[in-house]
Structure 1
Amino acid sequence: MEFKAEIEAIGKNIANERKRQNLTQHRLADMANMNEGYLCEVEKGIANPTIGKLLSLAEALGVPVSSLLSGI
């Protein structure tokens, strides 16, 4: 997979922020209007999220998209 390390870093950033806010994957997926299974794959670095999905997650978490891209 191309950009595997970067995709994994994005997933880790999302998971860390979700946990920091004491949200479950189920709750965040609901807030971001996406499937919980897909969110799980994103957090594990398996799925490559689109810009639209990143924007939805950032909005649901109340953080800038740049914070989800930190470290890549």
Structure 2
Amino acid sequence: MTSTSSISGKETPNQRLSRLKTQQQLCNKLLMDCVSLMEVYPDYTERLMAVMNQVESMMEQNSRLIARIENPA
């Protein structure tokens, strides 16, 4: 397994960007899975909507972080 940190033990900006983009892809998949689950288990729609809201909030935060890394001030 390759190291995911620099010598200082912290992520490099490129590593963080890669991790955040991977998280965004996984979040998109999770949202699609939630929609599919709502179709199969309509009794859980309210709970799944709550999960989706949390995932969307995390995605918004990740988007801001990605933009900050890609376009530093």
Q: TM-score, normalised by structure 1?
A: 0.37
Q: TM-score, normalised by structure 2?
A: 0.37
Question: Higher relative contact order at CA 8 Å, sep ≥6: structure 1 or structure 2?
Answer: 1
